[in-house]
Every structure is written in C-alpha cells, then in structure tokens.
Chains A and B, each alone.
Chain A
Amino acid sequence: MTGKEKTLIKGFIFYPILTFLVIIVNYPYLWMVLTSLKSKKEVFMFPPDLIPKTFLWQNYIEAWNAAIWPRYFLNSVIASIIPAFSQVFLGSLAAYAFTKKFRGSQILFYIFLGTLMIPPQATMIPNYVIIKNFGWLDTYYALIAPFLCSAFGVFLLRQFFLTIPKELEDAAIIDGCSSFRYLFEIVLPLSTPALLTVGLFAFMGQWNDFLWPLVVTNKDEMRVVQVGLAVFQSEWTTEWSHLMAACTFSSIPLIVAFLFVQRKFIEGVALSGLKR
C-alpha cells in the first residue's frame, strides 16, 4: 500500500467520524438557534419539531427589549478591553524586569508564580471585602481593578522575552538606547504573537467571567452580559424561545470576534501544553 492510498483510506474512515462528532458537539448551538425561532406553543410540543414551522424573528425583538442589553454589552466591552490592554502593558514591564537578574529576582518571580496556584474563588471573598470598603461596589472600578495585571501574562511574556538574543540588547545599549526604548521599540515588536495571546486570553476571560461581576454589581445598569443573561434566565424561566434568542444574540459577537483570531488563540492554548 502506498502512502497516498493509505491517506485516502484514512480519509474515508476518519472524515465521516469527525463530521459526525462535530455535529453532535455543536448540535446544542443549532438547537439553541432553532428554538429561538419557535412559537411558545411549538416549544412545548412533544415530540419536538426539528425545524420551526415559521421563523418567529419577533422573539429576538421581544427578548432584546425586555432588558437593557445595549448597556450590558457596553459594560462587558469596558470590563474586557481595559484589563486586556492593561495586562499586556503592565505585563510587558514586569516581564522585562523579570528577564534581568537583580537582588531577590528569583524569589519575587516564584512568589508571582505561586499566585497562579491560588484559585480565584479563594481570593473572591477578601477581594470583595476590599472593594466594598473602598466603596467601589456597583462601579466600573470593581469590574476592572482586580484584573489590571495577571501573573499568567507576566509569566508567558517573560518566557517569550527570554528567547530574544541577549546580543540585541547589548548592541542597543552600546548605541545609547535606554531600557524603556529598547523594550518598546525592539522587544515588543518582536513579541507580537505573545502580546496578542496575553491580550486575547485576558479579553475572553473577562468577557465570560460571571461570578465576580455578579458579586460586585447589583444595579441593573452596571451588569455585564453574562450576569444580565443569568438574571434574564431567572425571570423568563420557561420562555425557552425568548431565552434561546437572548443566548444567541449574547454569544454571537464573541463567536464572530473569535473567528478572526481563532488561529492565534488556539495555537496559544496548544503551545501551553508543550512548555516543559
């Protein structure tokens, strides 16, 4: 059997299996969209119609008008973009410092790494008490401040910065380049993939975060999309078509945004497992 034939036979076996699995795995999304277009009566039919008889786009308008979704989206964007940029910026500064040897640099770096071991749920209560004492509940500060810097970002960037040849820095310093200028004009442009990965992880993490925004916001106009959706769900418990409509329009912006950056993002996840 030649290599070509082998590839062909493998294709015949594995493409149908994969396609079947992909359909199963993503069927919940299809079912979400199909349900969102059904009438109330149709939703409670058993056995269910696989395709709605008429597409009721009205459900989307009703679900959209039932809560202040534009405001939720705005809050989510603010609570995601600012930490994403800040984690990249502050992370680069810290990571650059950690590529140097200075008194206590090892210890400091290990303490930094140690914080990665602490689950966010464990720090949630002290963080909440601090934010409350600051009088920051129901403000953007509460949504943003705890996430301005991340140990994960610093670690990832430091590992990347270490791969840049030391000779480059020596040459730049001899030519009279300052450390800051070296970082901003030479290191950062060379590290675009790592910077993107950190920014994307931060953005996704913030956008999908639920527990922390739930805890620190009470006013409707301070809610982020995830919290708004959970509240919507508790109010519209069995109005499945409207709930599915809300699920659809609240997840579409992220999925579309993700499709543009998916390769970078998935490569980032894939590489995280190869670190030794």
Chain B
Amino acid sequence: MLEPMRWIGLDNYITALHSWQFWNSVKITFIYAAVAVPACVILGLLVALILNQIIYARSFYRLMFFLPVITSMVVAAIVWKWLFDPDVGLINYVLYSIGIPHSHWLEWLRDPKGGALLAVLVVGIWKRIGYNAVIFLAGLQNIPKRYLEAATIDGAGAISRFWYITVPLLSPTTFFVVVLQVISAFRVVVSVFVMTRGGPAKSTDVLVYYLWENAFHYFRMGYAASIAYVVFILILVFTLLQFKFAEKRVHYQ
C-alpha cells in the first residue's frame, strides 16, 4: 500500500506549486478564514458583552452558549447537514417563510458557487461562538470597575466608555482569541469531511481536507506531508504577523 520512501528533494513542493487543486485549496482556506475569524470574534464578543450585563443565572446562560463547543464536530456536521437540506430542511423552510426567494445559495451543499462553503462556515462559526464568548467574558470581568465608574463620572457615554476603556483594556484577550481563531480556521477539516467531502466541484476543498485526501485516499504520503508543512508554515507566519501587529496595539495594564 505504501511505497518505500526515497529521496526526491523538493519535488513534492514543486508539484504542489504547479497544481491548480493545491491553489484552489489555498484560496478556499483563505476565504474560509477571512469570513470565520471576524464572524467568530465579533459574535463571541457580542455574546460576552450581553452576558456581562446580567447578574442572575449568568453561568446558566454561559453554559447554554457553550454546549455547541463540547459536542463533537461529527454530530454537529450531521445535524446541520439535515438542517441545510435544500428540499425539506428547516433552514430553507424558515427562509421561505420570511419571504426569501430561491437562489443558487439556497441549494446549500449542492451549490458549488458558494452555498456549500457558506453552509460549512455557518457550522464552524456556530460551534466556536461559545468558546470565544467565555474567554471574552473572563476578560471583561477582569477590567477594574473603577475605570468605567470614573469615566461615567467624567460624563462619558456608553459608546465612548466601550471604545476608549473596554476595547483597549480588553485588547490582550482579543489578541489571544484572534490568534486561536486564525489557527483553528486554517485547521478546519471535520465539518468538510462529514458534510461535503470537499465538493461539490472542489468548492469546499480546504487545505487540510486536500491533505487528508492525498494521504489516505490516494496514499500519496510524501505529497501530503509537504502540504502539511505548507499548513504549518501558513499558521506560523500568520501567528508571527499577529504578534508583530499586536506589539503596538495591544495594551497590557
């Protein structure tokens, strides 16, 4: 099944650079990250901000937002596949009920022009919000109350308090969340595996799925290992870039 290993230098990397499938996977991974990272961070922060406003039953609500985080991605992906069923699924029923006309997007997992990728994105974002919200909430509670009170006495409104006190003081937490989120976006694979197998027409063929398919479907271990290095280097470069960017913008107390 596996060929014996032999030294071929950089051939695998050169093959990758000349393969349209490889570049397609790079493109899709970047689109995925470009949507998933801001969506997960902003929605997580929003949930945390609302949770921070209430006093009673806060840990209950926090737990309820956390449930998608602990259920396995396999279960989540199967359930969402059913929700996204283009013919009898609940999501299309709701969308039709509120008057949204049919378009190729609503074909979801059957749509190679973005519908399938959007469906995979929704699952990934849904599963991650609770995690980010929990970390943001801890960060928010770590902001000393006296700063906010002092600003209120000085006449600062809710928006300027948020912008000039909460955002800068929360920046180390935000930085942490963004770094983790970028890493997790580059590593997405299980939802793709269960929901679309990279299809239709390679429209959800993210890098790690491409890697998996080459390694364990075509048994091109060497080639797949070179893709693994590409994923690793992408994550490394993006993480280092963020650290560089953060130097000036993250404020530690």
Contact = CB atoms under 8 A, between A and B. Distances in A.
A233 B126 CA distance: 21
B106 interface: no
Contacts of A207: 72
Q: Is the interface of B mostly helix, strand, loop or mixed?
A: helix
A276 B138 CA distance: 13
Nearest to B142: A274
Interface string A199-217: 0000010011011000100
B75 A276 contact: no
Contacts of A129: 2, 221
A254 B76 CA distance: 14
Contacts of B78: 229, 233, 243-244, 247
A270 B47 contact: no
Contact of B67 (A10, A210, A255): A255
A15 B54 contact: yes
B72 A119 contact: no
A272 B137 CA distance: 12
Contact residue range for chain A? Answer: 35 or more
B140 to A, nearest CB: 11
A269 interface: yes
Contacts of A229: 72, 74-75, 78
A270 B173 CA distance: 10
Contact of B194 (A29, A120, A215, A230): A230
Contact of B216 (A122, A215, A265): A215
B176 interface: yes
Interface stretch (B34-42, B111-119, B226-234): B226-234
Contacts of A152: none
Contacts, number: 181
Given A121-B208, A207-B72, A32 B79 contact: yes
A146 interface: no
A30 to B, nearest CB: 10
A240 B235 CA distance: 37
Most buried by A among B47, B62, B134: B134
Contacts of A189: none
Contacts of A271: 138
Nearest to B64: A22
B173 A21 contact: no
B51 interface: yes
Contacts of B66: 262, 266
A215 B215 CA distance: 10
Interface of A: 7, 10-11, 13-15, 17-18, 21-22, 25-26, 28-29, 31-32, 35, 43-48, 117-126, 128-129, 132, 204, 207-208, 210-211, 215, 225-226, 229-230, 233, 240, 243-244, 247, 250-251, 254-255, 258, 262-263, 265-266, 269-274, 276
9 contacts: A25-B67, A31-B83, A125-B215, A208-B74, A211-B189, A262-B63, A272-B135, A273-B176, A274-B142
